[in-house]
């Protein structure tokens, strides 16, 4: 099962890029973030024509997450538990049932598409919201891991874990994405027993998933790695590969993020 995560930075604005990528890369499951579209404006027809079932949790202008799957989806839920007053569309999860092979039934995988808060400026309530949101994610991940099932938490987590994951630490000093509190919050989630799929497959530094539109960041390769696929032990045991599809950032009218994908053996 090939599972991709991608912050598309407005699905309708990037629809041609998204459709071209899906045709070329052929992921079985796609976790989308920052769709920036209400559910009634979601381009379902175009995606369904490529064979995808759709679960979506939208919001006008901001945020928005979705799951596309070529396999059936069950147990779909949206919204991160822990704060009933939080209306931001940043989390959706579902169980994906793979078809399997003759004599071997498919093994389900629970997936979640996650768009964590940015948190900037770091001296405002936005940063407090970010840290509280990541704490809620940790609590929910603890609940999910107790089921001892294959689990893939994917998305734009808006945290730079280490100096190996950005081009210049000085340029990001004080930014909410690189603050010690943000790093600690994500480390606490990983320490529950989750694996960073990309780091499980690659040790080389300075491989990025995001390049700002400003200051020639893409041409200079001034990027950061903030998009992740986090795997439970049951999913990590089935991990076959994980890659960053960097070339997509060079396509016409791209998102400022690129897809990250992992193959989990069925």
Task: Write out the catalytic residue numbers.
Answer: 115, 156
Return d(Cα 34, Cα 111) in angstroms, integer.
Answer: 17
The tokens of 47 are what? Answer: 């995606």
Return d(Cα 188, Cα 184) in angstroms, integer.
Answer: 6
Cα 78 to Cα 42, 70, 84, 113, 221, distances in angstroms = 16, 19, 12, 10, 35
Cα 152 to Cα 95, 116, 223, 247, distances in angstroms = 10, 15, 24, 24
Tokens 């994917």, residue? 154
Q: What is the CA radius of gyration of the chain?
A: 17
Q: Residue 133 belongs to what H/E stretch?
A: helix 125-145
Return d(Cα 178, Cα 158) in angstroms, integer.
Answer: 9
């Amino acid at each position: 099962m090939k599972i991709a995560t991608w912050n598309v930075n407005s699905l309708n604005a990037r629809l041609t890029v998204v459709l071209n990528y899906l045709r070329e890369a052929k992921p079985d499951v796609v976790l989308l973030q920052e769709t920036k579209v209400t559910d009634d404006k979601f381009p379902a027809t175009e995606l369904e024509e490529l064979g995808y079932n759709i679960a979506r949790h939208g919001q006008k202008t901001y945020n928005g997450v979705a799951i596309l799957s070529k396999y059936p989806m069950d147990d779909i839920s949206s919204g991160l538990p822990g704060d009933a007053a939080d209306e931001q569309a940043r989390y959706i999860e579902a169980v994906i049932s793979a078809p399997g092979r003759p004599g071997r039934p498919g093994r389900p995988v629970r997936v979640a598409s996650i768009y964590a808060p940015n948190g900037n400026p770091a001296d405002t309530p936005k940063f407090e919201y970010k840290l509280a949101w990541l704490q809620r994610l940790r609590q929910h991940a603890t609940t999910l891991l107790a089921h001892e099932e294959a689990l893939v938490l994917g998305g734009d987590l808006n945290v730079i874990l280490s100096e190996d994951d950005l081009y210049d630490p000085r340029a990001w000093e004080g930014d909410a994405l690189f603050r010690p509190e943000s790093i600690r919050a994500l480390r606490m989630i990983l320490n529950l027993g989750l694996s960073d799929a990309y780091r499980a497959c690659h040790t080389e530094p300075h491989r990025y998933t995001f390049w700002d539109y400003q200051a020639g960041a893409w041409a200079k390769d001034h990027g950061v790695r903030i998009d992740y696929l986090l795997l439970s032990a049951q999913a990590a045991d089935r991990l076959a590969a994980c890659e960053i599809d960097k070339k997509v950032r060079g396509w016409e009218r791209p998102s400022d993020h690129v897809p990250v994908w992992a193959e989990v053996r069925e």
